[in-house]
Structure 1
Amino acid sequence: MITLTRTDSSNPDFMALVKLLDAYLAEKDGQAHEYYNQFNTIDMLKNVVVGYENDIPVTCGAIKEFDSDTMEVKRMFTKPEFRGNGLASGVLSELEDWAAELGYEKCILETGKRQVEAVALYKKKGYATIPNYAQYIGIENSVCFEKVLK
């Protein structure tokens, strides 16, 4: 059974999962990883969710304010051996609920086109493709999404 915990980016389990995420993305993104990595710092993230299976951290995600009515989803990751079990969907739902509780109207995010599992997850969870925003404008490998929260 998965237990989801709301925390912040100082959580050591979150930091350990992010190291695994960064290694995964470095492999997937190749030379483009350095460009993306500059936008993925985790210091000062106030809204982090870590998922535990039998007290072992296996999945995570975060949100950070993009503007006064929008949270940006960041640092979504599930250990490979735990994928395909709905864990990322659970983390994403928890992040969306948290954003709504804080009064935000929508969530946005960016992922790489090579992260086909991530693209499929966001579409399945009701995210619509939007034009690339901010630092992702003109970046061919990026795909951006938005979801209006209820």
Structure 2
Amino acid sequence: MTLEVRTVPADTPEVDALLDAYLDEREATFPSAQGSYARKRTPAAEFAPPRGTFVVASEDGRAVGCGGLRRIPDDGDDVRFEVKHVFVTPDGRGRGVATAVMDALEAGGAALGATAIVLDTNDSLVAAGAMYRSRGYERVPAFNENPNATAWYRKPVR
């Protein structure tokens, strides 16, 4: 299998299908003790350069993952970009797709002038949290009011 990660507009049918699958899965697996999942998609325009970027990972021409990066307000001296909607289809998992998506997003953030990449996630997504920490993300206080999030992370761009 050949893995390709490419930058795409976030308003394509291919992206819509991936994000629908992502939101469906999150809604179905959201911890009931935390209430109901707030189904919200970031507007595609927020991922358009120079405010952001969106990538799709494909294996042999089949979309198996995606993720976006968008500019959010600065924090002190930090020029911040936020990772959103990182998703790998069930049949794409365990083969480095999320790592390739994050590599592309972090490179895109650096090219857009980021000094920090931030993200939020839910602690129930154990593999995602472990991947983010292994990439150098450190837990920080909440920087948004995402009702689905229980953990916030930051990584400096070097």
> Could you say which structure has the higher strand fraction?
1
Unaligned runs of 5+ in 2: none
Structure 2 match to 1:149: 157
Distance 1:50 1:101 in 2: 18
Q: CA RMSD in A?
A: 1.6
Distance 2:66 2:133 in 1: 19
Distance 1:94 1:87 in 2: 11
Structure 1 match to 2:18: 17
Q: How does 1:25-64 map to 2 (within 5 A)?
A: 25-29=26-30, 30=32, 31-34=35-38, 37-38=39-40, 40-44=41-45, 45-46=47-48, 47-64=53-70
Local SS of the residue matching 1:99: helix
Conserved 8 A contact 2:9-2:44: no
Deviation at 1:104, TM superposition (A): 1.0
> Could you say which structure has the higher helix fraction?
1
Conserved 8 A contact 1:28-1:114: no
Distance 1:102 1:25 in 2: 29
Q: Given the two structures, how large is their TM-score scaled by the length of structure 2?
A: 0.85
Structure 1 runs of 4+ off > 3 angstroms? none
Unaligned runs of 5+ in 1: none
Identity %, equivalent residues: 24
Per-residue Cα deviation, 1:80-119 (whole angstroms, up to 9, x for no partner) = 1211111101100110001101111111000011111111
Conserved 8 A contact 1:114-1:141: no
Conserved 8 A contact 1:4-1:51: yes
Distance 2:87 2:144 in 1: 22
Deviation at 1:140, TM superposition (A): 8.8
Q: Given the two structures, how large is their TM-score scaled by the length of structure 1?
A: 0.90
Conserved 8 A contact 1:113-1:143: yes
Match of 1:91 among 91, 96, 101: 101
Structure 1 match to 2:141: 131
Local SS of the residue matching 1:76: strand
Deviation at 1:11, TM superposition (A): 2.3
> Could you tell me which amino acid in structure 1 is paired with residue 67 of structure 2?
G
Distance 2:119 2:126 in 1: 15
Distance 2:109 2:6 in 1: 15
